Amino acid sequence: MVSRRRLLAAGAAGSAAVLGPAGWTSGRAAAAVAPLDARDIPKYVTPLRIPPAMPAVATDAERDTYEIAVRQFRQQILPPSWPRTTVWGYGSTAHPDSFGYPAPSIVARVGRPVRVTWVNQLVDGRGDYLPHLLPVDPSLHWANPAGGAEGRDRHGRWDGSPQGYRGPVPQVVHVHGAHSTQDSDGHSEAWFLPVARDLPPDFAVSGSAYREFRSRFVERCGLRWTPGSATFEYANDQRPCTLWYHDHTLGLTRENIYAGPAGFYLLGGGDDLPDGVLPGPAPARGDAPNTAYHDIPLMIQDRSFTADGELRYPRRYSGGGDGAPTWVPGFSASTMVVNGRTWPTLTVRRQRYRFRLLNGCNSRFLLLSVVANATARPARPVLPVWQIGSDGGFLPEPVPHERVTLGPAQRVDAIVDFTDVPAGTELYLVNEGPDGMYDGGRPGVDFAPADPHTTGQVLRFVVTDATGVDPSVPPERLRLPSHPRLGTAQRVRRLSLNERMSDGSMIMLLGVLDERGRGLPLRWSDPVTEQPTLGDTEEWEVRNFTRHVHPIHLHQVQFELLGRGHSGRLRPDPGERGRMDTVLAYPWEVTRIRARFDLPGRYAWHCHLLEHEDKEMMRPLNVLPRGGAATGDGGALGVPEKPPTASTDAG
């Protein structure tokens, strides 16, 4: 067990550094830094941090303009007086105090474009590149800058270092759930390195798709990208909803996001309800200090730490044998972090609150409820969580939940009503998801819930008296905006989720179905099979041949869930009847969705278990101009085409 004295000494020794490697990045062997026992960390001693609005660098009649960089810094994630943690995070280059984990929220309006120049500033005070905070397995199919122009975006090689790849870190930002053109989507092969004085001359400074998308953006917007950056524009031509932005580098997403760079993208306006109907306000640009918010985004993540307060991520899977950092098939950390702080407290008044719940974990599924006893299991909910929206905006009507299920990357727009809770009451947001892979089912019946003393607790609410009349409408009386359903599909696409052995471990792969209805696994580099025609609506039948639940994310579109179950015909739950960009595909079931593809170009679809995504569970999604040839299993309704042949290296 780690002593308190040792922790304080480690914090004092490391607290002076603002930039530069720390913890695992210092070159010390992982075994030299003991893991921090999560049970030793005091809970509910830190107030919840509410991310402010990201400052803009320009606002005019046409758009809001931002310049946002990713940098390395130290932040107090563990309780005060404990060591600070080295993390990465986004912030405005014109506002040095804005950098944080999570980052400030980009606050946008429907119909008003936002232009962001994303800058990779992972360099130290001398201008030298910073290596990754975590050990990087270079043998994956990943960005691989060390491979040069010919070897980038391919499998790399291990050079014998126990930390793996130690070069400059590639970055590219994806606004998850945004209706984006291809040049602004954050394609995994459009990454870029920082401008650093010591970049090796034989390294590739950008991904294989970077130049293409840079040219397309110049043609579309008349603005050139500068080295070490990419400029994206978001039209915000979709429903008001809760989006988020994060890194999406090929084969490195799991570790880049774990290091910290992520933030909310809050899209309001459009058919949003009139002011006062829903709880508010939410953070906005120009807010006065100490503004009381009743519309609060909550980014829930799990993290593990070393004794000196640094992030801890598995260096190797037990199947590894030669000392190289090795990809792990999944990871559940030991500590719950909300908005960048371990087990915080939120003081609420006896009023209604709107919470934008985001599962920002790499692999952990969350089953959330509000209870009076933090450790009692099974959990006994005392307040309903009223869901009013999902990934893509409002539901047809409010849905009360005793327990909310959130897979990685999913969002739930919710209202919790504290009006009738006596002042002085303490309530808890708890998690009954498993401390491991999620296969579906009920906590305590089909699987053991998360440790009630650590990862089973998330956030404490302390209720105080109201200071005035709450103007918001009780959730059970809300009338939410209605939207037409998507039209008839032009074709059905039959897809598969598969598992197979590779290099001594089980990996998951996307794919199609063969002539006998069996899963045919495919990798990122295999011929493209998902190529909808521009303007078409398609139904996708995703058959899960694995033992686990997978959150499946499609870029560009917000889709509808049509059905589940062994036939794919079971009606979705009420909380799944809005638009979604990430859907849970359950084991041995068919998940049926409907989407309309109305932007041409190169995109992707993938599992959002980040360890799976980085190990080939991602496939290209190309939207063809009208008149292009149909490909893959996208034949006419009810007529599957002959599937492709799997690549020779699919195993």
Average pLDDT over every residue of 552-563: 98
Q: Is the pLDDT reported for residue 631 higher than 90?
A: no
As a whole number of angstroms, the distance between CA 187 and CA 400 comes to: 37
169 DSSP β-pair partners: none
Q: Is the pLDDT reported for residue 8 higher than 90?
A: no
Q: Is the bond preceding 644 in cis, omega lying within 30 degrees of 0?
A: no
Cβ-Cβ contacts under 8 Å for 553 (sequence gap 6 or more): 176, 409, 581, 582, 605, 606, 607, 608
Cβ-Cβ contacts under 8 Å for 24 (sequence gap 6 or more): 30, 33, 133, 134, 135, 163, 306, 310, 311, 312, 313, 315
Looking at residue 271, its pLDDT comes to 77
Distances (CA, A) of 155 to 140, 143, 192, 203: 5, 8, 18, 15
Residue pair 605/530 in contact (Cβ under 8 Å)? The answer is yes
Looking at residue 23, its pLDDT comes to 31
As a whole number of angstroms, the distance between CA 103 and CA 94 comes to: 15
As a whole number of angstroms, the distance between CA 623 and CA 632 comes to: 13
What's the pLDDT band for 134 if we cut at 50, 70, 90? very high
Average pLDDT over every residue of 320-330: 76
Distances (CA, A) of 43 to 80, 85, 229, 380: 11, 17, 39, 20
Report residue 170 as tokens: 């590639």
Residue pair 499/507 in contact (Cβ under 8 Å)? The answer is yes
Q: Is the pLDDT reported for residue 410 higher than 60?
A: yes
- Of the candidates 413, 381, 177, which has an alpha carbon nearest to the alpha carbon of residue 295? 413
What is the pTM assigned to this prediction? Answer: 0.92
Q: Which amino acid is at 646?
A: A
DSSP line for 307-346: TTS-EE-----TT--SS-----S----SEEEETTEES-EE
**Helix or strand (DSSP H, E) at 241:** strand 241-247
Q: Which amino acid is at 493?
A: R
Average pLDDT over every residue of 362-367: 98
User: Could you report the per-residue pLDDT of 53-73, keeping only the tens digit for each?
Assistant: 999 999 999 999 999 999 999
Q: Is the pLDDT reported for residue 347 higher than 80?
A: yes
Could you count the other beta carbons within 10 Å of the beta carbon of residue 83? Answer: 27
Looking at residue 29, its pLDDT comes to 43
Q: Which amino acid is at 216?
A: R
Q: Is the pLDDT reported for residue 437 higher than 80?
A: yes
Looking at residue 25, its pLDDT comes to 34
CA 82 to chain CA mean position, Å: 27
The percentage of the chain sitting over the pLDDT mark of 90, rounded to a whole number, equals: 84
Task: Convert 624-637 to b/e letters by CB count within 10 Å (16 or more is b).
Answer: beeeeebbbbbbee
Looking at residue 272, its pLDDT comes to 75
The percentage of the chain sitting over the pLDDT mark of 70, rounded to a whole number, equals: 90
As a whole number of angstroms, the distance between CA 345 and CA 472 comes to: 24
Looking at residue 208, its pLDDT comes to 98
Which residue is associated with the tokens 């590894």?
Answer: 320
Task: Convert 85-102 to b/e letters by CB count within 10 Å (16 or more is b).
Answer: bbbbbbbbbeeeebbbbb
Average pLDDT over every residue of 191-196: 98
What's the pLDDT band for 629 if we cut at 50, 70, 90? low
Looking at residue 651, its pLDDT comes to 29
Q: Is the pLDDT reported for residue 321 higher than 70?
A: no
Across 168-172, 330-334, 644-648, which has the greatest mean pLDDT? 168-172
User: Could you report the per-residue pLDDT of 81-109, keeping only the tens digit for each?
Assistant: 999 999 999 999 999 999 999 999 999 99
| Averaged pLDDT of the chain | 91
Looking at residue 648, its pLDDT comes to 36
Residue pair 427/371 in contact (Cβ under 8 Å)? The answer is yes
Q: Residue 307: how many CA atoms within 13 Å on its side-chain side?
A: 17
What's the pLDDT band for 501 if we cut at 50, 70, 90? confident
Burial class (CB in 10 A: 0-12, 13-18, 19+), 13: exposed
Q: Residue 23, by phi and psi: left (phi above 0), alpha (psi -120 to 50) or beta?
A: left
**Helix or strand (DSSP H, E) at 417:** strand 411-417
Torsion of CA 438, 440, 445, 448, to 10 degrees: 10
User: Could you report the per-residue pLDDT of 457-468, keeping only the tens digit for each?
Assistant: 999 999 999 988
As a whole number of angstroms, the distance between CA 640 and CA 518 comes to: 13
Looking at residue 644, its pLDDT comes to 58
User: Longest Cα pair distance anywhere in the chain, in angstroms?
Assistant: 70
Residue pair 172/186 in contact (Cβ under 8 Å)? The answer is yes
Which residue is associated with the tokens 């580098």?
Answer: 249
User: Could you report the per-residue pLDDT of 211-268, keeping only the tens digit for each?
Assistant: 999 999 999 999 999 999 999 999 999 999 999 999 999 999 999 999 999 999 999 9
DSSP line for 32-61: GSPBPPGGGSPPS-SBPP---BPPPSEE-S
As a whole number of angstroms, the distance between CA 357 and CA 210 comes to: 33
User: Could you report the per-residue pLDDT of 253-312, keeping only the tens digit for each?
Assistant: 999 999 999 999 999 998 778 889 999 999 999 999 889 999 999 999 999 999 999 999
Helices (H), 443-574: none
User: Could you report the per-residue pLDDT of 385-402, keeping only the tens digit for each?
Assistant: 999 999 999 999 999 999
Looking at residue 436, its pLDDT comes to 96
Looking at residue 251, its pLDDT comes to 98
Looking at residue 2, its pLDDT comes to 35
